[in-house]
Structure 1
Amino acid sequence: MPRENSLDESETRSLTPDLDEQETPNIEAGSPTYSRAPEHNGHPLDLARVMSAQSKKSLHSRLSRAHPSAATHPTKASGWPHLPPKDRFRAVVRKVMSLHRGATLLSAANVGAEPGIDPRRPAVDAAYRHIQQDSEIEIVDYSAVRSTSRRMGNAEFVEFMNVGSGAPPPREAWVKVRWINIGGVSWDVIKALAIKYQLHPLALEDVFHGHSGNRSKADYYSKHLFLRVLCHELLPEDASDGPPSFTDAPRSSSPEPIREFTPEYDEKEDSEDIIKNGGVPSPIASLRKRQTLGRTPILPTTRGDVAPPYSKTAAPRLSILAAKDANLRAQSTARKEDEAAVRTLKKGSRVDVAVSPMYFFLFRDGTVISIRPTPNLDLTLPIAARLKSRDTVLRKSADPSLLVHSLLDLIVDKAIQVIDQYHVKIHKFERQILLQPNMGTVRELHILSGDLILHKRTLDPIKTMIYALRRYDVDRCAALIDSSDPANENVKVVGFMSHKAKIYLADAYDHMEYILTSLDMFAGIADNLINYSFNVASYEMNEVMRKLTIVTIIFLPLTVLTGYFGMNFVNMWSLRRSDLFFWELALPILVLVVPVALMADLKKMWHYIQKRRNIRAV
């Protein structure tokens, strides 16, 4: 994410082109920025030399001498109004893209800058405004006697927030709890919400940089309680693996920059334009020329402006940033391709579970905000239905912390459905293994065992978070009060969770205990079934070798006798008699060797017969 830059004054002035300092027409803030670097006698100028120029006047004079056409055909001071509307729009778009891309590049260098997302800062607003999504928003106001709900879109919600005013939107006197339920994360919606309710920057950073690998947690702030919970849902057979996160980048990174196409400056096009106008450049051609001849900013307008790190004609710092950015993008693409390949290989052999984060903000004035990246409110429909009925505990209590518990309990119930599906799956595999072990079932057990380990890693923090909400709620609220201030000496510490909510959280904690113990049990059964399959395969191999050994032992004396009587001798005393003499020797030996070789099997058979007799006798 973008950070506050700790650059000196000279560097700050050169971060973006200053239109007032350039000798260009009187153009508004949306003037176009072209990607081609200024040239001197047909060769690109050294960007580092341009940045270190002491005065723009001397730089402009050198460029003017290199391009006499700029001095021969001066542009009128009112060049911008003469531009066609289409060119004006393109100019504004290029300017915004240049600022956004430059902020994205410089954000990677400020690793130790101030964390968090503050929507009031212009740099943050420029970096995140491209996150746009058609969100579904529902606002439910209720008390023990009345309940109202209304749905809005992005524009209507921003208008309802009325960012220009100071306080949050007013509520009627009968309203005890206001629930703002948002499906789909869009910058305009979250920005209006953060400004009106003073959401903490660190909590907003978790919202925009959260993905399915983050742990569930509870953060206490002076204005509100923030919860981040991973929701596990069963997916239909024809569904994907769940909603993607905004970014898989670490905490100090920014979202992906805008990737629209930016046209480059073309001298040939300007030359043709001058010829068409009878040797006089048009306003757009003069504007392009002056933008090219003006002072070049540090931040590039396209990727082509940044030379490789080994180039001596570009700024080293900027080149390194661009190279790192390209390397990170390549690694991210390769990682996503590997993940897609693994999902394809596992398809059909696993329980399809969507793991997506859900965020909650609990305020002391009775306001509850829930945010989910999926642009729909299907998950929270049961809670909305309960709020419409007067005989529910949720309506009778009119407790905002109990509403948070209901949402947490809903997530726990979804996880129980996942566990039940794994229970069915593990029973199916156990039956197949006990009937006839095969490597196909072992492969599916291996995939299931890995998924169980991953789910335990994501579900275990939910249990820890629920326990902390019950046990350490007041203690963490007390830690927010500055005890060194004499004014806070007699302040009563009040937690965010009520006593009734803590009682109901104990039930959710028991359910999480059941879920985690079931995961451990299923993982143990899967490992035992895998080991049993390999043990059976090893046992069968040993049995085959044992049978081959017995056959070899039985026929070894016969082989010796056959070899003896098959020898070619002229005079052999045994051949004076008939071939009956061979069988007179072979059969007694066979009768003696077979019982000795099968002695262990005969004993097992005898014990088995004895057991069957005892069972029948009972």
Structure 2
Amino acid sequence: MRSRGQKFPTDKSFKTVKGDKTKKDWHPGQEPGLDPSKPNGGRKIGAPLLHERCQITVMDYSGSDLEVHDFDNQGLIDFLKAPQEEWIKCRWINVNGLSWDVIQAVAENKNLHRLAIEDLVNTESRTKADWYTDHTFIVMTLFKLIHLHDSSQDECDTDTEDSEDNDNINKAHGLSQQASSGWKWIFGGKSDAKQQLAEKVAVSVSVNGGVTGHTKDVEDATVKKVRTLQRFHSGRNEDKMTYMERHSVLAPQKEAVSAEQVSIFLTADNTVISFFENSADDLEGPILHRLCTPDTILRSSCDGSLLLQALIDAIIDLAIPVTRAYEDFIGTLELNVLTDPNIKHTKNLYIATTEITKMRANISPTIQMINALRDHKISVEKDGDNSKHHHGNKRSAHCTVDISSVARVYFGDVEDHILQMIDSMETMHRSCDNMIDLIFNTVSAYQNESMKQLTVVTIIFLPLSFLSGYFGMNFVRMDAVQLHSDLFFWEIALPVAFAVTLWLMKDTIKWYVIKVVERRGIARARKGRLLRAGDAKKL
């Protein structure tokens, strides 16, 4: 037996090549998950996992009261240290941006599972719903249609922009923090700076690749890079992603599709926590408007699972304009293919197919996630060991997450929207494939027709060319030329050309004659049936 720490040399091992150098904090066999009680989640790297200034909104409400708070990173950390007031029936913590200090504070306050924290930090997680003792964790993808900035000043080197991104982000979010809270905009006042930024966001494709977000008419409001559909779970081939972004089918309309991961927690104490990379404002306004209206189901029920349904429904609704944009493009391209098919159209069709396929692959798993939420039933575990997390934090066995019957009903409406989008994308995918086949078949038919015409011309002029070469030879004496005029050539050439043409095209002529006879026979038979049918009606 080998003693502990002893290592024997061997010639049967080879050094492993590390394929993904972007994840320096990852290695095979490491402890799964991130522990919020340890610095940096228990990872060995010295730098924080994520760090940026977040835009955070906390909404506490009951059937009669509503309070809205806006915080930065440290403000939320201090706020969570205070005990929750008794009048609060439901709480929504909406975080725009990913920063480890915020994630750590929320995880320690709500005792979130370390595996869920790791999936939250990893922005390439699959769509799913994970159930833990006293909370559930949902990961899904948010797609939305954004506008491209066509200003030439945006076509600049991103190396200088990247170094200033953090400062510009802070300035942009600082405007929103100085403004009044979001609920004042709902009651008819002037829209605050946060809402103005959300309405004016646009993006531009940089020279070195990637799509950079910008805000129009606001000084120093350049925001971080937007992850497009081509860069969402697309590997590490930078050249391919840059090319696909620049030649996207929506680029001529100055539009692009952004994609980001959304992580949502639903806890047993009726708290919903949502983490967005940069699109929280798109959902916060409409849902906050519903919460500010006392007679809405979302407000009157004070149900966290119904709030979860509202968030998922809003995320799916943002993807509907994307589907319509692709439908408009494919409809326009289909008219061009039908009227003037060109082999160049296949490039746009291929790019459209890849984008639609990628979007469908990320939306389809949402159906399984929604079914998991609808089919969830509360089961109280009596075994004390089952009421513990893997990282050792004890929770009472009766603390479970409940999906209300009302939320289950409305989840069915979300599923219908997803199925409609998937059906539309499948139809578009088939249309693209059919158009590609039509283009190649049409081009092939044109080429075959051209070759047929060239063949006919060649057959007609073949005997003429032969006779021209024969009579053009240098003979010492040729009576056919010396005793006759040039008409003698045509007296020989025309009959020979006619006979050769009939001989070489006899199969074509035979097929044409048979076709004409058959079509005339069919037309005569149809006319006879119509006449007999008319006579029968008269009788």
TM-score by length of 2: 0.67
Deviation for aligned residue 1:553? 0.9
1:385 matched to 2:289:
yes
Question: Contact conserved, 2:343 with 2:440, CA < 8 A, in 1?
Answer: no
> By how many angstroms is 1:418 displaced?
1.1
- Distance, in Å, in 2 between the alignment partners of 1:203 and 1:333 is 23
> What does residue 402 of structure 2 align with?
496
Contact 1:136 1:377 in 2 (8 A): no
Distance 1:105 1:514, change over 3 A: closer
Native 8 Å contact 1:179 1:369 kept in 2: yes
Q: How does 1:598-613 map to 2 (within 5 A)?
A: 599=509
Task: Give the structure with higher Rg (CA).
Answer: 1
1:101-140 deviation line (CA, Å, top 9, x unaligned):
xxx999555x323211112113537846463222111111
The separation in 2 between residues aligned to 1:484 and 1:193, in whole angstroms, is: 25
Is this contact kept in 2: 1:178–1:366, CA < 8 A? Answer: yes
8 Å Cα contact 2:133/2:399 also seen in 1 = no
2:37 counterpart of 1:120: yes
Which residues in structure 2 correspond to 1:240-251 (within 5 Å)?
Answer: none
Report the 3-state secondary structure (helix = DSSP H, G, I; strand = E; otherwise coil) of the residue aligned with 2:364. Answer: helix
Structure 2: distance between partners of 1:113 and 1:497: 34
Deviation sequence 1:412-448 (CA, Å, 0-9, x none): 1112211111101111111111111223322111111
The one-letter amino acid paired with 2:294 is R
Query: Any gaps of 5 or more consecutive residues in structure 1?
Result: 1-6, 9-103, 163-167, 241-331
Pairing of 1:563-578 with structure 2 (within 5 A) = 563-567=469-473, 568=475, 570-572=477-479, 576-578=483-485
Q: Residues 211-248 of structure 1, C-alpha deviation per residue, up to 9 Å, x if partnerless?
A: 3xx321100000201001110111112299xxxxxxxx
1:572-587 equivalences in 2 (<5 Å):
572=479, 576-587=483-494
Please state how far the C-alpha of 1:573 moved relative to its aligned partner.
5.3
Shift of 1:492: 8.5
2:449 equivalent to 1:543: yes
Alignment match of 1:190 (pick from 103, 107, 122): 103
SS at match of 2:147: coil
- The alignment partner of 1:378 has SS state of helix
Task: Give me the whole-angstrom Cα distance separating, in 1, the residues matched to 2:39 and 2:398.
Answer: 39
Kept in 2, the 8 Å contact 1:135–1:375? The answer is: no
How large is the Cα RMSD of the aligned pairs? 3.8
Residues 539 and 482 of structure 1: CA distance in aligned 2, closer, same or farther (over 3 Å): farther
Residue number in structure 1 paired with 2:195: none
In structure 2, the residue matched to 1:157 is 76
Residue of structure 2 equivalent to 1:328: none
Give the secondary-structure state (helix, strand or coil) at the position aligned to 1:439: coil
What is the deviation of 1:159? 1.1
Q: 2:138 aligns with which of 221, 224, 227?
A: 227
Partner of 2:216: none
The 1:573–1:136 alpha-carbon spacing in structure 2 relative to 1, beyond 3 Å, is closer
- Alpha carbons of structure 1 residues 607 and 235: separation in structure 2 relative to 1, 3 Å: farther
1:236 equivalent in alignment to 2:147: yes
Q: Assess, with a 3 A threshold, how the Cα gap between structure 1 residues 495 and 137 changes in structure 2: closer, same or farther.
A: closer
- Secondary structure at the aligned position of 2:283 is classed as coil
Amino acid at match of 2:96: G
| 1:385-416 superposed Cα distances (whole Å, 9 cap, x missing partner) | 11111232212322111111111111111122
Change (3 A) 1:553 1:344: same
- CA offset digits 1:81-120 (Å, max 9, x no partner): xxxxxxxxxxxxxxxxxxxxxxx999555x3232111121
Would you say the 8 A contact 1:182–1:371 is kept in 2? Answer: yes
Cα distance change of structure 1 residues 235 and 182 upon mapping to structure 2, 3 Å threshold: same
Q: Do the aligned partners of 1:182 and 1:377 also contact (CA within 8 Å) in 2? A: no
What amino acid maps onto 1:169 in structure 2?
P
Match in the other structure for 2:258: 354
Q: C-alpha separation between the residues in 1 aligned to 2:276 and 2:70?
A: 16
Residues 1:516 and 2:422 are matched in the alignment: yes
Q: 1:601 to 1:543 in 2, by over 3 A?
A: farther
**Structure 2 CA distance, aligned partners of 1:146 and 1:391?**
13
Give the superposition deviation at 1:500: 1.1
**Alignment partner, residue 440 of structure 2:** 534
SS at match of 2:56: strand
1:466-500 superposed Cα distances (whole Å, 9 cap, x missing partner): 122123x11xx53x73569899xxx8897621111
Please tell me whether the aligned partners of residues 96 and 275 of structure 2 are also in contact (alpha carbons under 8 angstroms).
Answer: yes
**Aligned partner of 2:381 among 481, 504, 516:** 481
Distance 2:60 2:323 in 1: 34
Number of the residue aligned with 1:339: 241
Q: State whether residues 135 and 376 of structure 1, in contact with CA within 8 Å, keep that contact through their aligned partners in structure 2.
A: no
How far apart, in 2, do the equivalents of 1:539 and 1:512 lie? 40
Q: 1:139 aligns with which of 54, 58, 68?
A: 58
Query: Quick one: structure 1 residues 507 and 609, their matched pair in 2 at CA, closer, same or farther if it must change by over 3 Å?
Result: farther
TM alignment of 1:290-309, pairs within 5 A: none
Q: Which residue in 2 is equivalent to 1:427?
A: 331
8 A contact 2:480–2:488 mirrored in 1: no
Contact 2:136 2:267 in 1 (8 A): yes
Task: Decide whether the 8 Å contact of 1:134 with 1:375 is kept in 2.
Answer: no
Q: Aligned partners of 2:103 and 2:364: how far apart in 1? A: 29
Instruction: Report if the CA contact (8 A) 1:232-1:414 is conserved.
Output: yes
Structure 1 counterpart of 2:370, from 449, 462, 466: 466
Higher relative contact order (CA 8 A, sep 6+): 1
Supply the distance in 2 between the matched residues of 1:400 and 1:569 (Cα, whole angstroms). Answer: 110
Code of the aligned partner of 1:218: A
- Give the drift of 1:518: 1.5
Separation in 2, partners of 1:105, 1:185 = 17
Instruction: Specify the SS of the correspondent of 2:282.
Output: coil
- The 5-angstrom pairing of residues 387-426 of structure 1 reads 387-426=291-330
Cα deviation per residue 1:559-586 (whole Å; 9 max; x = unaligned)? Answer: 3333444443625357634433433333
- Could you say which residue in structure 1 is the equivalent of 2:8? none
Residues 373, 554 of structure 1: alpha-carbon distance in 2 compared, 3 angstrom cutoff = same
